[in-house]
Amino acid sequence: MKRLHWFFLLLLLLPAACTDRTDDSGQAPVITWAEASARFRIYADETLMLVPDIIGADETTTYTWTIDGRVVSTDSHFSFLSHETGEFFIRLVVTNRFGTTEDEVKVTVLESENAALPDLPEETRLWCFPWTEINIAQGRSLKIKVFPLDIPDDASFTWTVDDADAAESPLADKTAFPFTSTTEGRHTVTILMTSAAGSASQTFVVNVCPPAGTYRRSLTGQAMVNKVYEYIPAPGHQVNGYIIVGDSYPDGCTHEQACDSVLAHFSRRWSVSLGSQGGYLVAGFDHSVQAGGADYDLCIKGNPFSYQSEPGIVWVSQDDNGDGLPNDQWFELAGSEFGTENHSTDYAITYYRPAARRSATAWRDINGQTGYVPYMSYWNPHDYYWQPWVEGTERTYFGSCLADRSTYTNGYSDIPPYAWGYADNLGSDFVKGPAGLMNHVSISNARDAFGRPVTLEYIDFVKIQTSQIGSTPNLGDISTEVYYISDWHMEN
């Protein structure tokens, strides 16, 4: 989630409490705020950034923040945090060479509703997997992956293809299997796990379709995606609206309604949040987007800032079976971190629906790491950050992950960008093109699940996924925002 520190969306000017102008040739400072004093309400142990917009500030300007007559800061901003509840009156004195201005704001600190974090539930699943049926073009390879959660140490694995014993998987990870077939039709791949405690199996269906290019669609006149097929955000405090812009989705919103709303947002170039790590959306075009070699192919608008990039990994897919649905093999578009220590593939993270209202959301990832998506009532007072169209009491998200490099020092957060190749990221590919200032990515960077380059002459679907798990006290969870997705070639 991101916002400008000075909260410019609802700029509200408040009159200065007093002004002592000493020189008619200039103007004493004028203090303005983005929020009315009455709305400075936070919970105990939450941080509130007070960053006024000072009209008339110059290199001579000084700032003095006091609480009960005690100086607490001489910076242009003040990071306020209290462990105690109550009302606090914070006075700001701003002086430039023409005079002095003072103003006072009241901050109400309420009892924390997030003091007791929920316990993580016991893991009851043996394993999990992102799909059980998929379509691939003839001649392509596919990695079938089972994500182990509670597999015994003495477990062994046997793979079969079309009910026949398969050669032992050459992969070091025996819970993964490389499938390649030149025979069109329906194929079944089964993994059998055996141990002293018993056995378990899982069958996957792979539909081998005609060669790539069979269902390529001709160009139209529409650059922007024309349909959103999936909008499955992870929990996050900007997904269903926040205090600056109000509600985004009604409490009873269905998945179809949410997808329609996302497309309407894109038409207006309004923000859509994907929530925390793994949250994603899938959109499609009314034509096949041609790969342009070294040129850009897709335009993706986000809102990265110098102090806050929230990179989203971009995936692409072809309509291999020609049914117009994104149920085919996905390819990650490699960014600058692909294959480095900052990038992890075969990643999975599970979020657990909070049992109590207005509380943090617990998570556990495939590496055994745990944490919480914070509840930030000041920014989003909804009872839950779990969206009504996301079914179940827990949800696992699959994909790749980038390392969280966020820092928080003296009231300021810094979430630095990666070099290039991601949505909502202030990298070298965040440039102004025919569609405006946004990220631009190339289909030529497509990689398969083995990390190998894949030549795609076109794509039909695109998926964008929040890539980092983390949060900072004042900005909240790291969550990719998307405003617009289009075919770069159609924008020219």
Could you tell me if 422 and 442 are in contact, meaning their C-beta atoms sit under 8 angstroms apart?
no
What is the model's pLDDT at position 116?
Answer: 60
Same domain for 256 and 185, yes or no, is no
Could you read off the pLDDT of 241-251 as tens digits, one per residue?
Answer: 665 555 577 77
The two counts, helices (H) then strands (E), for the chain are 2, 41
DSSP state of 489: H
> Three-state DSSP class for 138?
coil
Last residue of a domain, one of 64, 82, 110: 110
Residue 116 covered by a domain: no
Q: What is the CATH number of the domain that holds 20?
A: 2.60.40.10
What is the model's pLDDT at position 23?
Answer: 42
Same domain for 262 and 379, yes or no, is yes
Could you read off the pLDDT of 178-212 as tens digits, one per residue?
Answer: 999 889 999 999 999 999 989 999 999 999 999 99
Structure tokens at 14: 């408040």
Same domain for 161 and 296, yes or no, is no
Distance CA 311, CA 402 (A): 8
Same domain for 45 and 89, yes or no, is yes
Same domain for 131 and 232, yes or no, is no
Number of domains the chain is built from: 3
Residue 2 covered by a domain: no
Same domain for 448 and 359, yes or no, is yes
The helix or strand, by DSSP H or E, that contains position 258, with its residue range, turns out to be: helix 255-268
Residue 119 covered by a domain: no
Could you read off the pLDDT of 354-413 as tens digits, one per residue?
Answer: 888 888 899 999 999 999 998 887 678 788 889 989 989 999 999 999 999 999 876 678
Same domain for 204 and 74, yes or no, is no
Give per-residue burial for 242-275: e unless 16+ CB within 10 Å, then b: bbeeeebbeeebebeebbebbbebbeeeebbbbb
Same domain for 76 and 191, yes or no, is no
Q: 329 pLDDT exceeds 90?
A: yes
Same domain for 381 and 481, yes or no, is yes
Same domain for 293 and 343, yes or no, is yes
User: Is the model's pTM score more than 0.85?
Assistant: no
Give residue 221's identity as a one-letter amino acid code. G
For residue 18, the cross-strand partners are: 102
Residue 1 covered by a domain: no
Share of the chain residues as helix, strand and coil, in percent rounded to the nearest 5: 5, 45, 50
Of the chain, the percentage scoring pLDDT greater than 90 comes to 62
Distance CA 311, CA 434 (A): 22
Same domain for 105 and 134, yes or no, is no
Least confident of 32-36, 124-128, 485-489: 32-36
Residue 216 covered by a domain: no
Of the chain, the percentage scoring pLDDT greater than 70 comes to 90
Residue 121 covered by a domain: no
Last residue of a domain, one of 110, 144, 177: 110
Q: Which pLDDT band holds residue 14 (cuts at 50, 70, 90)?
A: very low
Same domain for 45 and 81, yes or no, is yes
Q: 222 pLDDT exceeds 60?
A: yes
Last residue of a domain, one of 158, 179, 209: 209
Closest CA to 482 of 467, 472, 471, 460: 467
Range of the domain at 409: 227-491
